[in-house]
Structure 1
Amino acid sequence: MNDTSLASSDASVADAQKEFSPSEFKTVVTASSIGTMVEWYDFTIYGTASALVFNKIFFPAIDPFLGTIAAFGSAAVGLFARPFGGAIFGHFGDKLGRKNMLMATMMIMGIGTFCIGLLPDYNTIGIWAPILLVILRILQGIGIGGEWGGAALMVIESAPQKKRGFFGSFVQFGYPLGLLLSTIIFSLVSLLPEEQFLKWGWRIPFILSIALVSLGMFIRSKVRESPVFAKAKAQKKLVKQPVIEVFKQHPKEFFSAIGLKASEVSWIYVLTIFIVAYVSNTLNLPKSVALNGVLLGACLELFTLPFFGWLSDKIGRRILYITGAVASIICAYPLFILVGSGDSLTIMLAIALFMNICHAPMYGPQAAYFPELFGTSVRMSGASFGVQVAAAVFGGLSPIICAVLLKVLDGSNGISVYLISLAVVTLISAILTRETKGENL
């Protein structure tokens, strides 16, 4: 290689390691937010459909209660696929870069969701309908499993050191945006007559996801690699087996991430999936009652998530997790007392309020806190894998566990005890985990 080629190569490496300009950084934040918006749009429409539709059109040949469990189970399958996605894309994200993995995960998510909208029902193709539904759900879950970690790292690895919590919250911002958009669309299609809604109306939110995916792919194509990763690569500080190195270097941090995630993720899946089914099937109230509560809660989180992200830069991430866990313990019984009142306005306000009291304080700073626990060479693997294991165990199983507890114990007390137990896990994890605010990445 001649001197000119060497100089050109050195210049390219130097350019890759340059900090993002303000305009580049805005693009990074936008691209990451859209990715998490698509992620939560996809998972929320699936969760809502599993509560309201899938038990009737994909599992119609079994007892209604078992049909509901089967529908929730198909939702859980996707969540159990997420750790595999977290491990796979975390591994390659730590070896090849964050950007390429973000493009791949979004494409996989979009294909899975779009195809679910086209899937024939049980009456058309019989047992193949639920089988194909589960396969597509697994594909969707693998893509989503790698999405969050890459999006979070692209932002916090390029954000100002003292503002990582605030800017990281915009990755989380995609959650209420996705929830808001999916709930609005589902609320509109649920206004259709029941027969039309079950026949074709529920498919519309799934098919429309392709537009969001296309937008996300376009914006992400404009983003270059994270400068922090580019520097580590240039200095040959990458490792051959990042996932294995997580367990060697950061076992405490990995299990801390799982424990920290336990209460937050269980609350959001209970509020957005189980409560929707509970209000509709057990209390026999219109679907719109719970959906409007979720909608209001998402609107409020557009403000509370950035606030808690900003606050974590001031007082720390750890104290907000402790606060959120304590709030979850206090609110576990009042949630079902208020929802069980049967009053539509009370139910709507309760869902929105508890979402912002119990979920937002922990979810807001999460995109900064979890990656900060790990070194650059294993950061995507550690953060992604830890989050997705917790999402599978405590998110995917929560609606099923709650449905079983409600049936077996003939009341909601067991569900409240379950939520309290997970909040205690998160509280202990937060007490034992170090503060990361202001650490140099």
Structure 2
Amino acid sequence: MSTTKAKVPMYIGTDGRELRRVLASSYVGSMIEYYDFVLYAAASGLIFNRLFFNDLPPAIATIAAFATLAVGFVVRPLGAIIFGYFGDRVGRKSVLVLTMSMMGIATALMAVLPTRDQAGVLAPILLIVLRIVQGVSVGGEWGGAALMAFEHANPQRRGFAAVFATAGQPTGSLLAGVVLALFALMPEDQFLGWGWRVPFALSAVLVVFGLWIRIRVSESPLFVEEKRRRETTTEKVRAPLIEVLRRPGILILAFVALLAPFLSFTLSGAFGITYGATHGLTTSSVLFISSAGSLVCIVGELFFAALSDRVGRRPVMIGGVIAGAVLAWPFFALLQTGTAWGALLAFALINGVAIGATFGPLAAFMGERFHTGSRFTGLSLGYQIAATIGGGFGPLILTALIAGNPSDVSPIVWFIAGVAVLSIVALLLSKERAVEAPVSVGVSGTTTEETPAQVADVATARHAGAAEPVPGEAAR
């Protein structure tokens, strides 16, 4: 029986309320995660270099502060492996409760850290320890949040469902930027004395709210079925990491495909903010403008995620990668005007088009790379390795490229273009669905497995622009 796209529900089973709770949990959890993470990133070059490394020359102090930022990225793959294992073996929900608690506690404790003048060398050591806790928890948070939405949703609507975890990231970035910018308007001595601590303390309030939402959702139905299958099967069950590494090509292609998107994310984030602040904009104004760009990013991600449900993940993401390369030069040209309108347009274009079109379908694209039993590990590991290279070391690479001549951004533009080519090739070599017959829960609520014929029907429908057949429809 054929169906139209408008008749396809977003949820599986008979009740859509549970999916709404899951989407809210994914969105809020990811928002809190990135509020904490971006707050630290912004504070590194504005505050921590002056309070925790003030015994060093200013330039060295800034480098030291940014090094603690990089530490958080370096340990993210470790978090992906650790929490990926428990997420694939114990459950998605319990891991997400733990990661959110760890992230929130670490950020809240930063609000009461003693400074270098108060505690000597112990102060930066404590800062680094808390940063490591942040990084490890982030390694498991995004992957689990994306999977809860992905695995609760109708297979035809997974792009739009899973994007709620991704859309929470720019929301958290926006919130962190606005809150920090407001306190940055204080007199400098008050801001450095106590004002900077308040945004970090607010994390505790956000975490309590997030945990209240997250505890109320049910476990992923696909994970429940996979756990039941493992308990009844006699076959040897491999560790999730081993299962992922048995098919290294999928992981490598996914990692390379995400490099260009994360480079665009870096361009609109730490590096772009710093570049704008050195070309005529005040710190508070560039923070407000980048926050507005995050708002545009949310809209873009939602739109392109929904589009990917109709035309496929790869075409949309390839378009976003191309846009990121093409917009790199205008981005710098607009920032070099030193005007608020120029910066606003620059951040809006990068966030809305380049980041929106790549990060919108990203969660569903990654979820469709791996089987249920190793999906948490595979998705998180591929994502976090790309984040470490593109997001953690991206600012350092871009800064080094123009170190000799800060007014000449052509090396950065060419570098972005080269990485874009690599990501496009990886996307072209990737299958639309790396897992050809994913286990899924049918619309009727029964668990089924898509047959090769059903997968072929999906591909044919996509090519023709028609609605995809719903897995489990024939059984119904």
Residues 365-390 of structure 1: CA distance to partner in whole angstroms, max 9, x if unpaired?
11111011101111000000110111
Distance 1:392 1:92, change over 3 A: same
Tell me if the contact between 2:297 and 2:348 (Cα under 8 Å) persists in the aligned partners: no
Identity of aligned residues (%): 39
Residues 312-335 of structure 1: CA distance to partner in whole angstroms, max 9, x if unpaired?
001110011111111111112221
1:112 and 2:109 are equivalent in the alignment: no
Please state how far the C-alpha of 1:405 moved relative to its aligned partner: 2.7
Distance 1:42 1:344, change over 3 A: same
1:211-230 map, 5 Å: 211-230=205-224
Please state how far the C-alpha of 1:440 moved relative to its aligned partner: 4.0
Matched with 2:268 is 271
1:185 and 2:179 are equivalent in the alignment: yes
Matched with 1:289 is 285
Matched with 2:337 is 341
Please state how far the C-alpha of 1:209 moved relative to its aligned partner: 0.5
Please state how far the C-alpha of 1:239 moved relative to its aligned partner: 3.2
Matched with 1:298 is 294
1:243 and 2:241 are equivalent in the alignment: yes
Please state how far the C-alpha of 1:263 moved relative to its aligned partner: 1.4
Residues 73-93 of structure 1: CA distance to partner in whole angstroms, max 9, x if unpaired?
111110111101111000111
Output the amino acid matched with 2:262.
V
Distance 1:293 1:425, change over 3 A: farther
Please state how far the C-alpha of 1:20 moved relative to its aligned partner: 7.4
1:260 and 2:254 are equivalent in the alignment: no
C-alpha distance in 1 between matches for 2:253 and 2:406: 34
Q: Give the count of matched residue pairs.
A: 422
Matched with 1:31 is 25
Matched with 2:79 is 85
**Secondary structure of residue in 2 paired with 1:119:** coil
Output the amino acid matched with 1:310.
A
Runs of 4+ in structure 1 over 3 Å off: 237-240, 408-411, 437-441
C-alpha distance in 2 between matches for 1:136 and 1:29: 29
Please state how far the C-alpha of 1:284 moved relative to its aligned partner: 5.2
Output the amino acid matched with 1:323.
G
Tell me if the contact between 1:20 and 1:227 (Cα under 8 Å) persists in the aligned partners: no
Please state how far the C-alpha of 1:19 moved relative to its aligned partner: 4.2
Q: TM-score, normalised by structure 2?
A: 0.85
**Secondary structure of residue in 1 paired with 2:370:** coil
C-alpha distance in 1 between matches for 2:335 and 2:360: 25
1:95-134 map, 5 Å: 95-134=89-128
Output the amino acid matched with 2:242.
I
Per chain length, whose mean CA-contact separation is higher, i.e. which structure has more relative contact order (CA < 8 Å, sep 6+)?
A: 1
Distance 1:413 1:59, change over 3 A: farther
Output the amino acid matched with 2:54.
P
C-alpha distance in 2 between matches for 1:404 and 1:308: 33
Output the amino acid matched with 2:357.
P
C-alpha distance in 2 between matches for 1:239 and 1:22: 33
C-alpha distance in 2 between matches for 1:278 and 1:360: 22
Residues 227-258 of structure 1: CA distance to partner in whole angstroms, max 9, x if unpaired?
1011111111693410111011x311111221
Matched with 2:141 is 147
C-alpha distance in 1 between matches for 2:437 and 2:176: 36
Higher helix share: 1
C-alpha distance in 2 between matches for 1:58 and 1:274: 22
C-alpha distance in 2 between matches for 1:59 and 1:418: 32
C-alpha distance in 2 between matches for 1:43 and 1:306: 22
**Secondary structure of residue in 2 paired with 1:173:** helix
Please state how far the C-alpha of 1:439 moved relative to its aligned partner: 6.5
Output the amino acid matched with 1:278.
Y
C-alpha distance in 2 between matches for 1:218 and 1:19: 24
C-alpha distance in 2 between matches for 1:30 and 1:127: 42
Q: Which of 350, 362, 365 is the aligned partner of 2:346? A: 350
Q: Which of 383, 391, 397 is the aligned partner of 2:393? A: 397
Tell me if the contact between 1:58 and 1:121 (Cα under 8 Å) persists in the aligned partners: yes
Output the amino acid matched with 1:166.
F
Q: Which of 405, 408, 411 is the aligned partner of 2:404? A: 408
Output the amino acid matched with 1:427.
I
Moved more, 302-311 or 411-420: 411-420
Tell me if the contact between 1:332 and 1:417 (Cα under 8 Å) persists in the aligned partners: no
C-alpha distance in 1 between matches for 2:107 and 2:365: 29
Structure 1 residues without counterparts, runs of 5 or longer: 1-17
Matched with 2:192 is 198
Distance 1:403 1:63, change over 3 A: farther
Residues 39-87 of structure 1: CA distance to partner in whole angstroms, max 9, x if unpaired?
1111111111113222222222333333222222111110111101111
Matched with 1:4 is none
Distance 1:400 1:353, change over 3 A: same
Matched with 2:470 is none
Matched with 1:14 is none
C-alpha distance in 1 between matches for 2:355 and 2:43: 22
Please state how far the C-alpha of 1:293 moved relative to its aligned partner: 2.0
Distance 1:284 1:297, change over 3 A: closer
Please state how far the C-alpha of 1:357 moved relative to its aligned partner: 1.8
Please state how far the C-alpha of 1:415 moved relative to its aligned partner: 2.6
1:21 and 2:19 are equivalent in the alignment: no
C-alpha distance in 1 between matches for 2:248 and 2:48: 39
Q: Which of 315, 321, 324 is the aligned partner of 2:317? A: 321
C-alpha distance in 2 between matches for 1:239 and 1:366: 28
Tell me if the contact between 1:86 and 1:142 (Cα under 8 Å) persists in the aligned partners: yes
C-alpha distance in 1 between matches for 2:211 and 2:17: 18
C-alpha distance in 2 between matches for 1:421 and 1:123: 45
RMSD: 1.8
Tell me if the contact between 2:313 and 2:432 (Cα under 8 Å) persists in the aligned partners: yes
Q: Which of 382, 387, 392 is the aligned partner of 1:386? A: 382
